[in-house]
Structure 1
Amino acid sequence: MKTSEIIIDDTTLRDGEQTAGVVFSRREKLAIARLLDLIGVQEIECGIPAMGADEQDSIRALVEMELSARLITWNRALIPEIQASIDCGIKAVDISLSVSDQMISRKLKKDRTAVKEQLKTALGFARQHDLYVSVGGEDASRADLGFLVELLQITRELGGDRFRFCDTLGIMDPFSMYDKVAWLRAAVPEVEIEVHTHNDLGMATANAIAGIRAGARFVNTTVNGLGERAGNAALEEVVMGLKHACGIETGIDTHRFRELSLMVAKASRRELPSWKAVVGERVFAHESGLHADGVLKDPHNYEGFDPAEVGLVRQIVVGKHSGASGLIDRYRSLGIVLSRDDAGLLLPVVRLEALRRKRDLKDRELVNIYLNGAELLKAA
C-alpha cells in the first residue's frame, strides 16, 4: 500500500444536490461538510453562488466553519459569477466552459475562438483576485483533444491551477479515459488534471480510477454517487477501489463511511440500497451454505476487506440457501447450541419457511422453529 497525493474533491453539496428533486437544508449542508472534513476529504465543492442569496448565505456559513478542507465553488466562466464567489469569501473556484464542438455550436451558438477568449477573460479576472482556479471542461470527453491542449496551454500561461476533464454525459469507458488523460498529461505536463465522471453507463467509479491511474491527481466524487441523471462517482467506491484494487491509500478515514452515507441518504431523501457497493447494509451478508461456511472459517475467503473498515458488520443470514455451518452460527448468536446433526434436521424446515415467506428468517422465527422442532431434536 502506497500513500498517494490524490486529492478528493467531493461535490455532494453541488453536483449531488443537482440530483433531480434533491434539496439540502443549510443545517444538512453544514453537517455533511463537517463530516466530510472530519474524515479527511481535502476539498469540498460547496455550491453555486450565482444561484442567488440563499445559496450565497449557505456558502458563507460554510466558510465561517473554518474547515481544514478547501472550499471551492462552481461558476460559469463569467466575471459576475466569479465575483459572487469572491463576495462569499471563497478563495478557490471552478470556472466552467463547454468545450465540445457539439455544445459550443449547439448550446452556446459560438465557436472555439470565442471559448478561448472567454477562458482568457475569466481566468485573468480570477487570477487578479488571487483565486485558486480549476478550469472546468464541460463535455471534455467529446471534445477534440487538440482543442483541449490549447485550453490547457491557456490555463498554464495565465496561471490556472488545474483542468477538470469532465465526462459530462457519462459515455466513456475506462480504457478511453486512461488514454485521453494520459495523452493530455503528456502534452501539457505542467497543468494538473482533475477527472469528473458520471454514471450513465455504470462506469463512473471505474472511469474515475482509470483517470487517476493515467495521471490525474484530482478526482470529483459524491457520497452515495448522487448527481445529475445516474449520478457521479461515489466517494466511498473511489476511495475503497483505490485502496483495495490499486494499493493506493488516500488518507481518508473510511470507518465513518456508513455513517456518512446514511446522513446523505436521509438529507437527500434517497434510500440507500441494501446492496449498495461498499456501504450497503447487506454487502457483508452471507446466506449461501458454501459462502457462510467459508467466511466463518476465514473471512478472507469471501470478503475483500474487513466490514469494520467502512463501519459495517458481518451478517450470517438464514434462508433458502443456508447450510449447516451458517445455521449453527446464527443459532449460537441467539444463545442456542446446535450440533451438526441438529442443524441437519432443522435445515429442511428452515428452507421451507424461507421459501414460503420469500425472504430470510428473522430471529423470532428461528426461535419458534427451534421450539416447535424440539420434539424432533429429542427424538434424534
Structure 2
Amino acid sequence: MEGISSSIIIDDTTLRDGEQTAGVVFSKKEKIAIATMLDAMGIQELECGIPAMGKDEQASIRALVDLGLNARLITWNRAVREDIEASIACGVKAVDISLSVSDIMIAHKLGKNREWVKDQLKRTLEFCKKKGLYVSVGGEDSSRAEIPFLLELMSIALEFGADRFRYCDTLGILDPFTMFDNIAALRRGVPELDLEVHTHNDLGMATANAIAGIRAGARFVNTTVNGLGERAGNAALEEVVMALKLALGIELGIETRQFHQISKLVGSASRRPVPPWKAVVGERVFSHESGLHTDGVIKDPANYEGFDPEEVGLRRHLVVGKHSGASGLMERYRSMGIHMEREEAKMLLCRVRSTAQRNKQALSDKDLSRLYLDNKADNWAA
C-alpha cells in the first residue's frame, strides 16, 4: 500500500506507559513474565521503564536486559545527561529522549523557549551518540506543536545522529485525518528520518490514529496490551496488530493466538480486568444471540465474524436469550447433548424468551435443561 513502510515495528510500551496508568504497579516478576511473553510472540521492541525513577526500577530493567530477549529494550528518559547515564548503567543500548515540543508546554511546563529546546536536543544527542546508543527523539505534545518547528527539530535530530523521531499525541486530541496529514507532512519534510507514532485514547481514537500514522508513512508504532496507559490509555497492541492484518493486509509475523493469554496476564498484573466486550480480546466479543446472526454463524462463521476467534486465542459463544432464534437454540441444545427438531425448538422459544426477559440475562445450561424438561412434562401431560 502506497506510503506504508514495508517493515513496521511495534514498540510496545506496556512496561512504561502502561505502568504509568494511575494506580498500576508491576512487580519485577510480573515485568519479566510480560516481557518474556511479548518477546515470544514476536514483538520487536519493548519500552521497558524509566531508570531515573530509582534503584527498584533500575533493578527491574537490568533483570529484563539479563533475559537476553530477541526484542530490543528501550528506556524512556528526559533529555538530560543524568537520565541517560542511569539507562546506560542498566545495560540498555537504546533510549527514548523526551522533550516538550508544543509552545504551551515549552512555556508553561519547562519555563523555556524554542531555542532552549533545540540546544538541549543537540547536547543530549551528542552525549547519546558518543555512548553508542540507538536514539528515538520523543516529541512530547507533538500534536499541539507547529509543523515547521517539528521539522526543524527533526532536521537537528538527523544531523546529530538520531535514529527516529516520535510524534506524540500526548493528550489524545487528534482525529485520524489530521494525524495522517501531519505525519505525511513530516515524512515529506525530512524523509531520511524514521517516524514513530505514539497515540492516546482520550477521544477513543488511539488505534485509529495509530493506523492513520502508519498509513501516512510512520515505521514505528507504540502500543500497550489492553490499551493500558495514562488517563484513557494508549493504542491497544491487539487492536493495532489485527487492524494492520485485516484492514490493511499487513502481516507482522506476530503470534496473535497468544493475545488472549497476554491480555489476561496484563489485566491481572495491572488489576485492571479486561471487559468482556473489549475489542479483539474480550471473552464475549464472539458471542452471538440474535436469531438472524446465530443462524448465519452456524451456516458459515464468516457470515458474521471478520476473523476466526482462534486467531486471537478465543472461542465462539452461542448465547440463548431474548433475541434467540430456533437455529441457535437447537445448536445450543446440541452442544448439551440434546437433539431437538426445529418444530420443538420453535415451541420452546416462547418460554426461553419469557425467561430471559424476566431474568434480564441470557440462559445458562441449567436454565435450558429445566425448560426442556418442563416442556417435555407439559407435552406428556397434554
The interval holding the TM-score normalised by the smaller chain is over 0.9
Alignment of 1:1-380 (within 5 A): 4-378=6-380
1:73 partner SS: strand
Distance 2:84 2:379 in 1: 75
After TM superposition, give the deviation of residue 271 of structure 1 in Å: 1.1
AA matched with 1:250: L
Gaps (5+ residues) in structure 2?
A: none
Q: 1:258 is aligned with what amino acid?
A: H
The sequence identity of aligned pairs, in percent, is 68
Ranges of 4+ aligned residues in structure 1 off by more than 6 Å: none
Show structure 1 runs of 5+ residues with no match. none
Q: For the residues of structure 1 that align with 2:9 and 2:124, how far apart are their CA atoms?
A: 24
State the TM-score, normalized to the length of structure 2: 0.98
AA aligned opposite 1:206 = A
Give the conservation status (yes or no) of the 8 Å contact 1:3–1:249. Answer: no
Q: TM-score, normalised by structure 1?
A: 0.99
C-alpha distance in 2, partners of 1:178/1:278? Answer: 24
Amino acid corresponding to residue 350 of structure 1 in structure 2: V
Equivalent residues of 1:342, 1:377 under 8 A apart: no
Q: CA deviation at 1:356?
A: 1.2
Q: Which amino acid aligns with 1:107?
A: K
Q: Which amino acid aligns with 1:177?
A: M
2:9/2:220 contact within 8 Å kept: yes
SS at match of 2:370: helix
Report how far residue 4 of structure 1 moved: 4.0
| SS of residue in 1 equivalent to 2:183 | helix
8 Å CA contact retained: 1:4, 1:249? no
Relative to structure 1, the CA distance from residue 379 to residue 179 in structure 2 (aligned partners, 3 Å threshold; closer, same or farther) is farther
**Residue aligned with 2:177, SS:** helix
C-alpha contact 2:295 2:328 (8 A) present in aligned 1: yes
Aligned Cα root-mean-square deviation (Å): 1.2
Deviation at 1:379, TM superposition (A): 7.3
Cα distance between partner residues in 2 of 1:103 and 1:78: 17
Mapped contact 1:32–1:263 kept (Cα < 8 A): yes
* Corresponding letter in the other structure for 1:92: A
**In structure 2, distance between residues paired with 1:231 and 1:333:** 39
**Matches of 1:144 and 1:347 in 2, distance apart?**
61
Question: CA offsets, 1:181-226, max 9 Å, x none?
Answer: 0110010000000000000000000000000000000000000000
Tell me the CA shift for residue 251 of structure 1: 1.2
| d(CA) in 1 for partners of 2:174, 2:250 | 23
Report Cα offsets for 1:160-199 as digits up to 9, x if no partner: 0000000000000000000000110010000000000000
Residues 321-330 or 368-377, more deviating: 368-377
| 2:324 partner SS | coil
Q: Is the 8 A contact 1:345 1:377 kept in 2?
A: no
Q: Deviations over 1:253-274 (max 9, x none)?
A: 1000000000000000001000
* SS of equivalent residue, structure 2 residue 263: helix
Q: What is the CA–CA distance in structure 1 between the aligned matches of 2:215 and 2:381, rounded to whole Å?
A: 63
Query: CA offset at residue 327 of structure 1?
Result: 0.1
C-alpha contact (below 8 Å) 2:184/2:217 kept by paired residues: yes
Per-residue displacement from partner, 1:272-296 (whole Å, max 9, x unpaired)? 0000000001100000001000111
Contact 2:5 2:217 in 1 (8 A): no
Cα shift at 1:375: 2.8
Count of residue pairs brought into register by the alignment:
380
Distance in 2 between residues matched to 1:130 and 1:336, nearest whole Å: 68
Letter paired with 1:157: E
